[in-house]
Amino acid sequence: MSAAPIKIAIAGALGRMGQAVAAAVQADPALILVARFDRPDAQGEGLVSAAQALAACDVIIDFTTPAASAALAEQAAGKGVALVLGSTGFDAAQIAAVAQAAKTTAIVRAGNFSLGLNMLMGLVAQAARALPADGYDIEIFEAHHRRKVDAPSGTALMLGEAAAKGRGVSLSQVARHARDGITGERPVEEIGFSVLRGGGIIGEHSVTFAADDEILTLSHSARDRGLFARGAAAAARWVAGRPAGEYDMQDVLGFSKER
């Protein structure tokens, strides 16, 4: 006898990612979409309140805003509902709120739900570990559509963390987010970030290791927003029934040790 499908609710249901996630959930026989909700003042057929969604589901998939996600995490923790959070741009207080909620429920929080991008993170860490900092400068470039409100992207920061981990340094100590005017010579361990915003770009990321005599570039290009939605659906399947804790896509995909 097959297991009952996992009951899914979608936060931010009227947004582009919310609609893509709904399609991915409906295409997955292991999942069933039981509730859709958005802002309290949102109007849309079939929308319910957050409280109704929490009462009806096993897992909520949320691609909204950091503030909304942090508030939802607190509510979900009180109900024992698992979460998949795809919002980016969290500040320290919001990260702490999610971590507190993860003490009583299972939460997957990721800046990117793509299999290929998560593979890229491992390759970046490996390259940063192998290539000497005094010979190879690291630059991270990302491009997204004009409507994206945070920069650098959560994915770019994840790649920066992977590079910093490979080099055994703290990203906060070596990151450079802007250059203008007379900047002086580049520090040896600096990890630079460059950002493009325009058009309808779904997501482009590259990490360049630049030496005097060669340049190595590792890159990922997203061609369909459904890529991230399918990854979020996979994360929902994985997190349902998991012990309380904060997880990421490295856990979901088996790239890190089971917690």
Active site residue 220: no
CA distance linking residue 27 with residue 39, whole number of Å: 25
Q: What are phi and psi of 189, to 5 degrees?
A: -95, 5
Measured distance CA(215)–CA(31) in Å, rounded? 44
Query: Which residue among the candidates 7, 79, 103, 144 is catalytic per the annotation?
Result: 144
Three-state secondary structure call for residue 32:
strand
Q: Residue 244: what residue type?
A: A
**C-beta of residue 223 within 8 angstroms of C-beta of residue 85:** no
Catalytic residue among 148, 165, 205, 257: 148
- How far is the C-alpha of 211 from the C-alpha of 2, rounded, in Å? 55
Count of C-beta atoms within a 10 Å radius of residue 44: 10
For β-strands 137-144 and 203-210, DSSP reports them as antiparallel
Q: Which amino acid is at 22?
A: A
Q: Do residues 208 and 193 lie in contact, with contact meaning Cβ atoms separated by under 8 Å?
A: no
Is the distance from CB of 60 to CB of 84 less than 8 angstroms? yes
**257 has catalytic annotation:** no
At residue 174, the 3 state secondary structure works out as helix
Structure tokens at 67: 């503030």
Q: Which residue has the tokens 């994360």?
A: 235
Return the active site residues.
Answer: 144, 148
